[in-house]
Amino acid sequence: MEQYTSQSEEETMDIAQEFAKKVKEGDVICLYGNLGAGKTRFVRGFVRHFGLSGDEVSSPTFTIINEYEGVIPVYHFDCYRLKHVREALEFGAEEYFFGDGVCIVEWPEKISEILPPDIKKITIETTEKNERKITIHQAV
């Protein structure tokens, strides 16, 4: 387990970019945290490692999944609006989990029963107005 304290959005993105150096194709990263905790900001930093600017990242709340074509594909899920795991199955979530890219999932608790057993778990907690505690568990 690794823990970090971020004092800014840019610091959160830097932590994420550094973390991304440790992932490989087929990894599924699950982001846990309340609304506004910084999960999408983390994804912006994460995709930088794969040759993207991070500006193309937005919360895919209304589309459920965004695909970013970098050095390897990054599949960004936002499951917040899902009412049932069946919805994730309908858009082929499992194919992404076992595909050729890296999946990063916001609100993974909504689809926990279909997640692979070896996810990487990241928890982002708001500790002060501009401070976040980021905890990375390599495999759950």
Provide the domain limits for residue 9: 4-137
Confidence band (pLDDT; 50, 70, 90) for 52?
Answer: confident
Q: How confident is the prediction for the chain on average, in pLDDT?
A: 90
pLDDT at residue 62 greater than cutoff 70: no
Q: In what order do the strands lie in the sheet with 65-69?
A: 2-6, 131-137, 120-128, 28-32, 102-106, 73-78, 65-69
CA distance 27 to 115: 11
- φ/ψ region of 83 (left if φ > 0, alpha if ψ in -120 to 50, else beta) reads alpha
Percent of the chain with pLDDT over 70: 94
pTM of the model: 0.90
Helix intervals (H) in the chain: 9-20, 39-48, 85-90, 93-97
pLDDT at residue 60 greater than cutoff 80: no
Q: With H, G, I as helix, E, B as strand and everything else as coil, classify residue 89.
A: helix
Confidence band (pLDDT; 50, 70, 90) for 61?
Answer: low
Interacting residues of 40 by C-beta distance below 8 A, sequence separation 6+: 57, 58, 59, 78, 106
CATH number assigned to the domain comprising residue 67: 3.40.50.300
pLDDT at residue 101 greater than cutoff 60: yes
Number of structural domains in the chain: 1
User: How confident is the model at residue 41, as a pLDDT?
Assistant: 92
